[in-house]
Amino acid sequence: MKFSDFNLSNEVQHALNDLGFETPTPIQEKSIPQLLESNQDLLAFAQTGTGKTAAFSLPVIQKVDISQKHTQAIILCPTRELCIQITNAIQSFTKYLPDLKVVSVYGGASIETQARQLNKGAQIVVGTPGRVTDMQKRKHLKLQKIDYLILDEADEMLSMGFQEELDVILEHANKDRQTLLFSATMPNGMERIIEKYMHKPLEIKVARKSIGNKNVAHVAYTVHAKDRYAALKRIVDFHPDIYGIVFCRTQRETKEVADKLMEDGYNADAIYGDLSQAQRDRVMNAFRRGQLQLLVATDVAARGVDVKELTHVINYQLPDEAEVYIHRSGRTGRAGEKGVSICLMHMRDGRKRAMLEKLVGAKFEDKLIPTAEPICERKLFHTIEKIKNLAVDIEQIKPFMERVYAELGDMTKEELIQHLVAEELNRFMKYYQNAPDLNANVTKANKPKRPKHEYAIMAINIGSDAGIGAAQLVRMIGKKPEFKQADIGDVSVQGKVSYFEIEPDFVPVLLETEFQHRGEPLLVSYIEDESKRPAAKPRKSGGGNRGGDRRRNGNRSGGFRGGRNSDRRSNDRRRSGGRNDRHSGGGRNRRDKRR
């Protein structure tokens, strides 16, 4: 079965073609026809990363009345990250349906902004349970008028304590609605929801099945966004025999990356939608003949590219849809050959990565972006191998050899080899002279401490009066997966406010992240006043800039520890008047009042 076999509108089919969707996953194959043809409630059990988003959203897109602006479908999910992901997917499915609007509502963002978006009209709303109940209480969402209610990752919502909010939503929603519940497991409390709020649901189960090519190795490099292109060049230099496709998300990015590669002397070119057929044919012929090592392409433009000898696929950015990654990585490792799918990841791509690993049935191998020395060594011996295996045309070089012998005849064999190696190595080393380490996730053991001025200063309105010490503050922030790899500097805990240092790349996310202490929301601010910067404290040997500073409470202020990638109930519900009136410690506050 193909996506083209589903009874979907031409506009949606066109969008799916653009995304490279061809063959539906098992959950899509079972769910989409059923939901298109029936209004019966549905209970679907499938693992994360099996294509559930398309399974429930494509039928909903097909069935909503675009001529009516009121909300007709609500999709509930446990985390704001998943909320944003589902919204992005629906927007990509409806790119040719400009009158269909989708709005996402979740904690950690301005409720007033989201309310204005709802008031403008949105046929589909994607939200976390706490924010949806808030919007319902404020009368921005009229649950009595919806036709479709979807619970995605219902088991996660229950395990995170959203039972109360789910009851409120299910109680107030239109009694004649169609309810779709998607879950990986059947936890305590779900049977009660099914019995109380669903009417004779059809049950679908899909066994977990990996659909990745076993001949493809999946490799992850973690890099800051600003270093993405430099990292790409390092990876290509480290694999001098690479023959692959670099996948970008937009035409603009595709053209920019290809232009930079060509300017920097790489055998590369691009294909994207705006090329004429003649231009596309020229590029593809050069690529198939091996005259190009790298083809930079969008997913749409790469459709129909069939080159079996590809050694690598490079994901310049991860795609929004997991299925697209399967199509990308499947370009290599064909005909029994081994292939490598490389992902340039940001530290906030943890959830996407976990989903992809489940889908392909394999763990990604983390590698460090190569530094100058191993790259130069690899390129040197690649050049030597080329020289050794070069087929020499004696007749072609014969006119020049008399003079060459005269110039080099006095040199010994060892001297000739030494000069050749020095010439090549000097060329490589000069290019990479003073090249920085681009790895965004180097460990504290090998990561040098930043100079004080390179840290941003932050304030949070909680301190020792609340029984908080430096170690507890670091752990509280580190529970957020967005900051698992963040580099934290010194911490100063005062009575009602604490100051801490963090690398600047994390400041925008930090200002939009919700923190709580004992049910009360906390306020995070960016501080420009250098006098507020925490003073450096003596470090124990080997401690690095994280984990080696023993604070006054005797606990180590260890580095950020990972937590579940979730928008927990406490992060999604706020008491009325949720802004805490403690001192913020000055500076520019970037977060609005909470509820």
CATH of the domain at 280: 3.40.50.300
Instruction: Identify whether residues 197 and 83 lie together within a single domain.
Output: yes
Residue 252 lies in a domain: yes
Residue 50 lies in a domain: yes
Q: Is the dihedral of CA 363, 369, 374, 380 positive or negative?
A: positive
pLDDT, tens only, 164-175: 999 999 999 999
Residue 575 lies in a domain: no
Residue 400 lies in a domain: yes
R_g of the chain, CA atoms, integer Å = 28
Residue 323 lies in a domain: yes
Instruction: Identify whether residues 244 and 351 lie together within a single domain.
Output: yes
Whether the Cβ atoms of residue 196 and residue 168 lie closer than 8 Å to each other: no
Write down the pTM of the prediction.
Answer: 0.46
Whether the Cβ atoms of residue 109 and residue 118 lie closer than 8 Å to each other: no
Q: What integer pLDDT is reported at residue 485 of this predicted model? A: 67
Could you give the number of structural domains in the chain? Answer: 4
Residue 439 lies in a domain: no
Query: Final residue of a domain: which of 530, 549, 565?
Result: 530
CATH of the domain at 478: 3.30.70.330
Instruction: Identify whether residues 172 and 98 lie together within a single domain.
Output: yes
Residue 453 lies in a domain: yes
Instruction: Identify whether residues 72 and 129 lie together within a single domain.
Output: yes
Q: Which residue has the tokens 């944003």?
A: 84
pLDDT, tens only, 366-393: 999 888 888 888 888 888 888 888 888 9
Instruction: Identify whether residues 192 and 71 lie together within a single domain.
Output: yes
pLDDT, tens only, 92-150: 999 999 999 999 999 878 899 999 999 999 999 999 999 999 999 999 999 999 999 99
Q: How far apart are CA 512 and CA 428, in angstroms?
A: 43
List the helix and strand counts (H, then E) for the chain.
20, 21
**SS3 label, residue 533:** coil
Hey, what are 364's tokens?
């990604």
**pLDDT value at 542 more than 70:** no
pLDDT, tens only, 127-139: 999 999 999 999 9
Q: How far apart are CA 446 and CA 450, in angstroms?
A: 12
**pLDDT value at 563 more than 60:** no
Distances in Å between the alpha carbon of 321 and those of 151, 203, 222, 312? Answer: 19, 25, 20, 20
Instruction: Identify whether residues 190 and 280 lie together within a single domain.
Output: no
Instruction: Identify whether residues 360 and 395 lie together within a single domain.
Output: no
| Mean pLDDT on 306-320 | 87
Q: What integer pLDDT is reported at residue 293 of this predicted model? A: 93
Hey, what are 265's tokens?
């002397």
Residue 557 lies in a domain: no
Query: Final residue of a domain: which of 369, 403, 420?
Result: 369
Whether the Cβ atoms of residue 74 and residue 64 lie closer than 8 Å to each other: no
Q: How many degrees, rounded to 5, is the angle at CA 280 between CA 276 and CA 285?
A: 150
Instruction: Identify whether residues 461 and 333 lie together within a single domain.
Output: no
Instruction: Identify whether residues 72 and 173 lie together within a single domain.
Output: yes
Query: Final residue of a domain: which of 322, 339, 369?
Result: 369
Mean pLDDT for the chain overall: 82
**pLDDT value at 449 more than 80:** no
DSSP states of 382-433 as a string?
HHHHHHHH----HHHHHHHHHHHHHHHTTS-HHHHHHHHHHHHHHHHHHHTT
| Mean pLDDT on 281-295 | 90
Q: Which residue has the tokens 């110039």?
A: 407
Q: What integer pLDDT is reported at residue 446 of this predicted model? A: 41
| Mean pLDDT on 10-21 | 92
Give the strand pairing for 520-521 and 516-517: antiparallel
Instruction: Identify whether residues 150 and 49 lie together within a single domain.
Output: yes
Q: Kindly report the backbone phi and psi dihedral angles of residue 260, in degrees, each rounded to the nearest multiple of 5, phi listed first.
A: -65, -45
Instruction: Identify whether residues 417 and 472 lie together within a single domain.
Output: no
**pLDDT value at 560 more than 50:** no
Q: How far apart are CA 535 and CA 537, in angstroms?
A: 6
**pLDDT value at 304 more than 80:** no
Instruction: Identify whether residues 377 and 365 lie together within a single domain.
Output: no
The parent domain of residue 452 ranges over: 448-530
